[in-house]
Structure formats: structure tokens, C-alpha cells
Amino acid sequence: MLGMVLGVLDQVIVGTALPTMVGELGGLSLLPWVVTAYGLATAVTTPLWGKFGDLYGRRRTFIGAISLFLIGSMAAGLAQDMTQLIAFRVVQGLGAGGLMVGAFALIGDLIPDPADRVKVQSVIGAVIPIALVGGPLLGGILTQHASWRWAFYLNVPVGAVALAAAAIGIPAAARSAKQRIDGLGVGLLTVAVVAMTLLAGWAGTRYAWGSWQIAGLALVAAVALAALVRVERRAAEPILPPRLFRSRDFNLAQVLGLLVAAAMLGVMVHLPLYMQSVRGASPTVSGLLLLPFMGGMIAAQLLAARLVLRSGRVRVLALTGTGTAAVGLGLLTLLDTVTTTTLAAGLGLVAGFGIGMTLQSTLVITFGSGDRRDIGVASGLLNLFRAIGGSLGLALLGSVYAASAEDTLTQRLGTKAGHALSASSQHLDPQALTHLPADALSAFRSSVVNGLHSVLLGGVALAAVGFAVAWLLRPRMAAPAATPGNASAETPAEGV
């Protein structure tokens, strides 16, 4: 549990610290990549860690994952520019993939009774959102009263405790007779996900949609995905077992998880930027203002778990979740330069509730469609698609934010002055905003609001697509307690 919390916490702890990081390290245009790099590294290594656990034992791989995560955490805290920070976040993410999938698989190994696993699932479903709440709040407190670097340093003592607990508490397992790693599959998956993420982040911003760079990335992603499908069908120990994808509901659940993780991370990264840059909130207060959003997620997790146990009506839950998320994200577009703090905090409740219910429904479907022998890989796949969704969504929504914000600046101040302010904002700390001339300050705050609105409308579109996907699910499925291999796997993202 502690390792899982660490992995999830570091997906979101930087959210409230990002504006201050930009002020110190520069590189506002790279801001989404601080989160995306972590999620991307987690995504491409998650199925590999799951396979390592299946082949070499959970204890050995879990300890290795924690160690790598701690190395990345210490290095990230020592970063001297945004490029270094992003690189060290990749190292963190490489370890985090093993933390989360290892924890999920251990639940299946250590709790053999399906009914007991469902009970643990509901507890995990509440604990992880609490970690998501604590992440932004803790990041804000550390940034305001110490330094943003402590958002990473804090992992070291906590991770050391998790490392000791794993070494003592997890029984050693015999090595599997089959120790074949699907290296080609891992490589193709990495190429495909990286190409898609760069495509989402660069198309229409750094490069024109019709440019050879974007066309090249699209071609690389398509070829890598096609080759991956072919390789996995023939691999002796595939990281993406084709048998799992024979279930339509399983496939639909992964799509839903991808979509909702993208929307969730878009909100969690850009909302603190709005609160600090427009509303003048401190990092700590901006973390507190995310509490209703996360509180809605917690309530939905607990409610959805009970409803599924009683009725098995997962399609109703998925439809309710995606529909509520779309409405909630739409309501958040009411935020402007004069929105009260109370309203800003309360508007996130509905969106959080919808996102939480959708995540819980996809969790149940995923593990209700698998077999116990695939619990490690199924855990990895669940987190893989959420992490891919978070990475792709954040890259795409981040580029949408940047384009919308710059358009607002050039419209308000003129092309030359607008571009100049946009360039200077690459190093602009929220605390330094008060030194801007009145017209520039007003334009900058309007640009942040319009950028946020574009992100939220993108989230509404993602939730609407999710609603359409949910209609394709079976109306009911067997109660999770009777489903082999059911284990908790509640995370954001990849993201999420």
C-alpha cells in the first residue's frame, strides 16, 4: 500500500508546485512535460514490471522498483533546469511503474479469496484518492514553507520505510521456469507511446499539422503499433497477451480508462495554475481548493463499489460517471478572473464525482474479464492505458492551453507585445505578477482563464466520447466477488 501511495502521490504532488518551479527553473512551455514524462515512463514500463513480477517473483521486482524510484526522486530534487527535472522525472516514472503494478499484483497473491479482494478494492479505492488529495496539498505546503524540491526529497525517507517493509514482509517466491522477456514488444510499445505523446504535444504548436515532422511521428506510431500487434501474437511471453483483448468489455474498459485519465490530469495540472496566477492563491491554498474535486472522487469510489457488488450494473455506472464528468467539467468553465474562491472550489465536486465513478467501473470490468494467471499482466494493462491516457491527454491539452493563452495575449496587447509577454512568462513566478503593468497583468490573467477554458472543453469532449463508448458495454456482469483475478487497481493515470 505504501509503495502504491508513493507512486500515485508523485503523479500529482508537483501540480501546486509547478508555477514556482517555472519561476525558478524557467521553461513554461515545458510545464506539462514535468507530469507527462513521469506518466509516460510509467506507461511503457508498467507491463514490463508486471511480467518481471510474474517471472522473477513480486518481492525482488518490487524492491528494485522502489530503489529506482528513490534514485529518481533525489535527482529530481537536485535539478538545476527544467530539462534536468524532466529527465529525472523519467527515472522516477520508470520505478513508479513497478510500484503500482507490483502493489496491485501483491493484493492478488496475498489475498486469494475473491470476496476479500473486493473489500480491499473498496478500501484502496478510497485511499488512493486521499493520496491524490494529499499530493497537491502537500506539494503546496512544502513549496510555500520550504522549497518545491522537498516534494521530491520527501520520498526518500518514506520510500526507505517501504523498502524495508517489502524486504521483511513479502515472502520470497521461487523463480519461474520460464524467464523469457518480450524485449521486442517492450521496444515497440515504447516507440509507439513516445511517438503518440510527441504528436499530441507538438501538432499545431511547435510544428504545423501538415509538417513532415508531424507526419513522420504519425507514421512511426502507426508502424510501431502494427508491428506490436504482430509481434505480440507470436511472442512466447507477450507483455500484452492477445487473449486478454478478446473480451469486448475489457477493451472498452481500457478506452474509458484512457479517456478519463486524460481529462483528470488536465484539470489537476492546470487548475492550480489558474488559482495561483489569476486568483492569487498561495500554493497551499491552491492545494486546499482541489479538495472538493478529490472529495467527489472518493465519494464516487465508495458508492460505485457498493452498487457493483449489489447489482453488477457496470454500464449504468460507466454512463453515469462519464455523463457526470462531462457536466462537471463544463461547469468549471464558469471560472473567470473574478470568480469567488468558494465557487472555484465547489465547481470541481461534480467533475470529481463523475471521474471517480468512471474509474471504478473500468476497474471492475477489467478484472472481471481476466484470469487469475494473468493478474500481474492485467494489472499492468489497466495502469498502462490510464498512464498512456494521462500522458497523451496532458500533452494534447497542454498544447491547447499554450495556443489559447498566446492567442489571448496577442489579441489583447498586439502581436509584438503579446509574444514578448508570452516569452517572458516562461520564467514568471506567480508572486511576480503584481509587478506587471495593469494592462499586461489583466491580459495575462485573461490568457490563463481562456487557456483553462480550452483545457476544460477538451475534457468535456473526452468525457462525451467516453459516454458513447460506455453505451457499448454489456448492461450487467457477474458480481466481482465471483470473478477470478479481481484486484484493486485504482490509480489516476496514469496518468492517471
Cα(197)–Cα(395) distance, rounded to whole angstroms?
Answer: 6
pLDDT band at 392 (very low <50, low <70, confident <90, very high): confident
Task: State yes or no: pLDDT of 219 exceeds 90.
Answer: yes
DSSP class of residue 171 equals P
Mean of the pLDDT values across residues 289-300?
83
- pLDDT score for 300: 86
Cα(451)–Cα(274) distance, rounded to whole angstroms?
Answer: 9
Strand partners, 207: 203
Strand partners, 383: none
Cβ atoms 129, 37 nearer than 8 A: no
Q: How many C-beta neighbours within 10 Å does residue 442 have?
A: 14
- pLDDT score for 340: 79
pLDDT band at 140 (very low <50, low <70, confident <90, very high): confident
Cβ atoms 125, 301 nearer than 8 A: yes
Cα 340 to chain centroid, rounded: 28
- Cell numbers that stand for 420 in this block: 514578448
Range name among 175-184, 191-200, 239-248, 267-276 with the lowest pLDDT average: 175-184
Cα(176)–Cα(55) distance, rounded to whole angstroms?
Answer: 5
Kindly provide the residue ranges of all beta strands, DSSP E only, lying in 190-306, ordered along the sequence. Answer: none
Sorted by sequence, the CB contacts under 8 Å of residue 76 that are 6+ apart come out as 85, 88, 89, 91, 92, 152
pLDDT band at 319 (very low <50, low <70, confident <90, very high): very high
pLDDT cut 90: percent of the chain above it: 21
Task: State yes or no: pLDDT of 484 exceeds 60.
Answer: no
Buried b (16+ CB within 10 A) or exposed e, 55-94: bbbbbbbbbbbbebbbbbbbbbbebeebeebbebbbbbbb
Task: State yes or no: pLDDT of 495 exceeds 50.
Answer: no
Short-list 260, 488, 485, CA closest to 385 = 260
Sorted by sequence, the CB contacts under 8 Å of residue 103 that are 6+ apart come out as 1, 3, 4, 7, 62
pLDDT cut 70: percent of the chain above it: 82
Helix (H) or strand (E) holding 459, with range, is helix 438-470
Q: Where in the chain are the domains?
A: 2-182+236-482, 183-235
Mean of the pLDDT values across residues 167-174?
69
Short-list 370, 162, 168, 396, CA closest to 261 = 396
- More confident position, 397 or 280: 397
Range name among 116-120, 393-397, 407-411, 446-450 with the lowest pLDDT average: 116-120
Q: What is the CA angle 169-173-176, rounded to 5?
A: 155
Give phi and psi for 235, each to the nearest 5.
Answer: -70, 145
CA distances for 169 relative to 1, 108, 110, 119, 447, angstroms: 12, 15, 11, 21, 52
Cα(129)–Cα(136) distance, rounded to whole angstroms?
Answer: 11
pLDDT band at 492 (very low <50, low <70, confident <90, very high): very low
Task: State yes or no: pLDDT of 57 exceeds 80.
Answer: no
CATH number of 2-182+236-482: 1.20.1250.20
Range name among 101-115, 214-228, 249-263, 429-443 with the lowest pLDDT average: 101-115
Task: State yes or no: pLDDT of 261 exceeds 70.
Answer: yes
Task: State yes or no: pLDDT of 147 exceeds 80.
Answer: yes
Short-list 182, 256, 183, 192, CA closest to 224 = 192
Residue type, 474: R
Cβ atoms 325, 462 nearer than 8 A: no
Cα(222)–Cα(216) distance, rounded to whole angstroms?
Answer: 10
pLDDT band at 348 (very low <50, low <70, confident <90, very high): confident
- Please provide the size of the chain in residues: 496
Task: State yes or no: pLDDT of 168 exceeds 90.
Answer: no
Strand partners, 203: 207
- Cell numbers that stand for 162 in this block: 517501504
- pLDDT score for 490: 44
Task: State yes or no: pLDDT of 483 exceeds 50.
Answer: no
With H, G, I as helix, E, B as strand and everything else as coil, classify residue 207.
strand
- pLDDT score for 3: 67
Task: State yes or no: pLDDT of 148 exceeds 50.
Answer: yes
- pLDDT score for 461: 96
Q: How many C-beta neighbours within 10 Å does residue 475 have?
A: 9
Range name among 44-48, 213-217, 399-403 with the lowest pLDDT average: 44-48
With H, G, I as helix, E, B as strand and everything else as coil, classify residue 203.
strand
Give phi and psi for 144, each to the nearest 5.
Answer: -75, -40
**Residue 36 Ramachandran class (φ > 0 left, ψ -120 to 50 alpha, else beta):** alpha
Task: State yes or no: pLDDT of 28 exceeds 80.
Answer: no
Q: How many C-beta neighbours within 10 Å does residue 219 have?
A: 12
Q: What is the mean pLDDT of the chain?
A: 81
Cβ atoms 340, 14 nearer than 8 A: no
How many H helices and E strands in the chain?
19, 0
- pLDDT score for 471: 92
